[in-house]
């Protein structure tokens, strides 16, 4: 037991170190290179006006958002995989992200061109719409997956793929009715994009992450018990339906609010918990925080790649994550 705890601490320290290294690399590299010495000067208030603008207005908020979304998506996926006992469960694959995205597209569609829909206000309203859409998608998935014998993993995946396709089709219908400028913005956002974010986006997402990731860690002991099966869980005094609903609500909230800011970043909720499980094992009180660290690192690294691989041009970070996650999903599908 002590050996496992020691290993988990070492893994967490290594992941934090990897995040810090990637963070400082991200400060220097992008469409324009800033020497590390200039980065240090700017951070301590002795930089030029140009470097101040690049670092504090563009790169830093984007990097913080990458960490928050990465952690949120990863924890959401970890909860889904543990609660459903399905290693292929992911908020993107199951259609939860599409439901959240559809709700945001509805908001954008009906407020485009309206004077009261200020960009600043929209940044804080969109997570609420995304949450409603994500909850609606989760309810539909559960409704169509349920049989008298319960919810089977393969049925859950198949229904989720169907719900995902349905919401994706609805998104396209509403996009085609948008004006050209809004259509382009929505298309880029849906592909998974965090370029152009500022500190107001950080403020809109931060409270959700600070509340619901600790809530997930607190509830993690119930995930361990639920893994024993419903009969054993009831025998141990756990209210199975109530705890499962709470855990799924936490998962859906983290996924939905992350989508509102970062768009449709697929496979992150699948890959990060799987990698974390290989590093520290299946115990959820350890798996969930380590999944958050893995997710934060993966999205921060993907953002760095998206900014530098075709510099000075950029590609949406969601495409980089998909390039990593899609082959891994196929591997897991074949393995299972």
CA 186 to chain CA mean position, Å: 18
Distance (Å, rounded) from C-alpha 59 to C-alpha 69? 15
Residue 149 has pLDDT above 80, yes or no: no
Tell me which residue range forms the domain holding 199: 2-335
pLDDT at 297 over 80: yes
Alpha-carbon distance of 18 to 26, in angstroms, equals 12
Other beta carbons within 10 angstroms of residue 40's beta carbon come to 13
User: What whole-number percentage of the chain has pLDDT above 90?
Assistant: 53
Q: What is the pLDDT of residues 170-198, one digit of tens each?
A: 999 999 988 888 888 888 888 888 888 89
Query: Which of 20, 21, 69, 46 has the alpha carbon at shortest distance from 193?
Result: 69
- Compute φ and ψ for 150, nearest 5 degrees: 105, -160
The C-alpha angle with vertex 212 and arms to 153 and 101, in degrees rounded to 5, equals 65
Q: Where residue 60 sits, what CATH number does that domain have?
A: 1.10.3470.10
DSSP 3-state assignment of 285?
helix
Residues 213-251: tens digit of each pLDDT: 999 999 998 888 887 777 788 888 888 878 888 998 999
pLDDT digits (tens, 9 = 90+) for 29-66: 988 899 999 999 999 988 888 899 999 999 999 999 99
Mean per-residue pLDDT, 280-309? 95
Cα(47)–Cα(306) distance, rounded to whole angstroms?
A: 26
Q: In degrees, to the nearest 5, what angle opens at C-alpha 31 toward C-alphas 25 and 35?
A: 45
Structural domains in the chain (count): 1
Residue for token pair 């997956």: 145
Residues of 225-261 as b/e, b for ≥16 C-beta within 10 angstroms?
A: bbeeeeeebeeeebebeebbebbbbbbbbbbbbbbbb
**Arithmetic mean of pLDDT, 139-145:** 88
- Residues 71 and 302: their CA atoms lie apart, in Å, by 14
Q: In terms of Cα–Cα distance, which of 139, 159, 13, 27 is closest to 86? A: 159
């Amino acid at each position: 037991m002590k050996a496992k705890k020691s290993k988990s601490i070492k893994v967490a320290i290594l992941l934090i170190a990897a995040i810090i290294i990637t963070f400082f690399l991200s400060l220097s590299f992008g469409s324009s290179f800033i020497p590390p010495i200039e980065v240090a000067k700017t951070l301590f208030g002795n930089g030029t006006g140009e470097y101040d603008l690049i670092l504090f207005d563009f790169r830093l908020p984007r990097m913080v958002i990458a960490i928050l979304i990465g952690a949120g998506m990863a924890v959401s996926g970890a909860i889904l995989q543990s609660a459903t006992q399905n290693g292929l469960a992911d908020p993107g694959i199951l259609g939860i992200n599409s439901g959240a995205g559809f709700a945001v597209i509805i908001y954008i569609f009906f407020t485009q061109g309206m004077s009261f829909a200020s960009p600043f206000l929209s940044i804080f309203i969109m997570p609420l719409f995304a949450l409603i859409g994500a909850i609606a998608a989760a309810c539909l998935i559960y409704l169509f997956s349920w049989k008298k014998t319960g919810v089977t993993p393969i049925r859950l995946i198949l229904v989720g793929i169907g719900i995902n396709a349905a919401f994706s089709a609805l998104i396209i219908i509403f996009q085609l009715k948008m004006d050209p400028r809004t259509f382009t913005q929505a298309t880029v956002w849906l592909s998974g994009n965090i370029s152009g974010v500022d500190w107001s986006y950080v403020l809109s997402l931060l409270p959700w992450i600070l509340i619901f990731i600790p809530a997930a860690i607190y509830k993690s002991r119930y995930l361990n018990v639920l893994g024993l099966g419903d009969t054993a869980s009831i025998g141990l005094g756990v209210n199975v339906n109530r705890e499962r609903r709470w855990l799924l609500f936490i998962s859906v909230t983290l996924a939905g609010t992350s989508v509102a800011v970062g768009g449709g970043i697929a496979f992150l909720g699948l890959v990060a918990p799987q990698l974390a499980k290989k590093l520290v094992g299946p115990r959820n009180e350890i798996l969930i925080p380590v999944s958050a660290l893995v997710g934060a690192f993966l999205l921060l690294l993907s953002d760095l790649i998206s900014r530098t691989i075709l510099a000075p041009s950029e590609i949406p970070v969601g495409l980089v994550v998909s390039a990593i996650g899609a082959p891994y999903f196929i591997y897991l599908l074949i393995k299972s």
